[in-house]
Chain A
């Protein structure tokens, strides 16, 4: 339990710090801050793990594990998984078109909205521009005189994604 509890506590501290920071400071490079804080949280994990007592002294036998390398790395793995899960939630909240649609529909609770009315509420140019900028920044695309091309990294990613889509028969998607 020592590793699991340490992983859980370290993630709890990460979550509080991240939410507080994003609430009070205007963060422009969100991904960098999210990952940076997570890396800093690894030190918190190590400290919390070291501060917790041996399982045998506090937990009943079925819940006790020796404080070995596996227990330590297992707690770190939990901390990593929780961050990944949270990152997924964060980006759904931040970028999901579906979430935005529900929020737009919530403003017209009784009457609802037609597809045409919904479309007018989106700034598609801005949405596309935001994605293109991110892809350029991450090294997947380059822009030359208004034309966008994939880099080697972008080509590999596009080929891999297209292969996965074909493998799972998912259609063009997006």
Chain B
């Protein structure tokens, strides 16, 4: 199992390097899609590397490399996939996190302190919604016609699914 874990970790480190370099060199128009593409390419490479390298990678202890090739590969892909999902969580926190933005605004203010109305003035609900609407237009969840926004079929399914989850888990209106 160790080989798969090492390769998954190596693949994830490679993803991070490529992702940072790409975003710094030329910020992609569809950021998240570019991250998914990089992950897909590295995932395919991971399968190939797993199949052509020795079970101990030449350095790993024999004791922990006795798993069957299929379970090792499956495990490697699962770990790599979950590392990516975990990173996405962090990425969205950095990119879209409302709470993070509040702390940054407070730190950037002259006295390093703000009242609630100051925060609202620096970051209005219109700004928040405009950004979210732009993102959802990009990924095809909504369409805009003459200034009116409507859900697409994809948006309707997502809305129905999340409305069900919110209702079932009693999460309130949220947002």
Interface size class of chain B, counting residues whose CB lies under 8 Å from the partner chain: 35 or more
Cβ B103 vs Cβ A71 within 8 A: no
Given A103-B159, A118-B129: A4 and B71 within 8 A (CB)?
A: yes
- B94 near A115 with CB under 8 A, answer no
- Contacts A4-B78, A22-B170, A100-B173 hold; do A122 and B125 have CB atoms under 8 A apart? yes
Q: Please name all residues of chain B whose beta carbon is closer than 8 Å to the beta carbon of A26 when the two chains form the complex.
A: 170
Contacts of B113 in A (CB 8 A): 144, 147-149
B112 touches A149 (CB 8 A): yes
Do residues A105 and B71 form an inter-chain contact, with CB atoms below 8 A?
Answer: no
Distance to closest chain A CB from B123 (angstroms): 6
The range of chain A's interface size is 35 or more
Q: For A101, give the chain B residue with the smallest CB separation.
A: B132
A114 partner residues in chain B, CB cutoff 8 A? 147-149
Query: A36 contacts which chain B residues (CB < 8 A)?
Result: none
Residues of B within 8 A of A63 (CB): 68, 70-71, 74
| A51 beta carbon closer than 8 Å to chain B | no
Query: In the bound complex, do residue A84 and residue B82 qualify as a contact, i.e. CB atoms below 8 Å apart?
Result: yes
Asked whether, in the complex, the Cβ of B99 is within 8 Å of the Cβ of A135, the reply is yes
Which A residues are closer than 8 A to B by beta carbons?
Answer: 1, 3-4, 19, 22-23, 26-27, 55, 59-66, 68-71, 74, 77-78, 81-82, 84-85, 87-88, 90, 92-103, 105-106, 108-115, 118-119, 122, 124-125, 127-129, 131-132, 134-135, 140-141, 144, 146-150, 154-155, 157-159, 161-162, 164-165, 167-170, 172-174
Q: Pick 22 A–B contacts, CB within 8 A, sort by A.
A: A4-B71, A19-B169, A22-B168, A23-B169, A62-B71, A65-B67, A68-B63, A71-B1, A102-B142, A110-B150, A114-B148, A115-B129, A119-B126, A122-B129, A124-B120, A135-B103, A141-B106, A146-B116, A162-B104, A167-B20, A168-B95, A174-B101
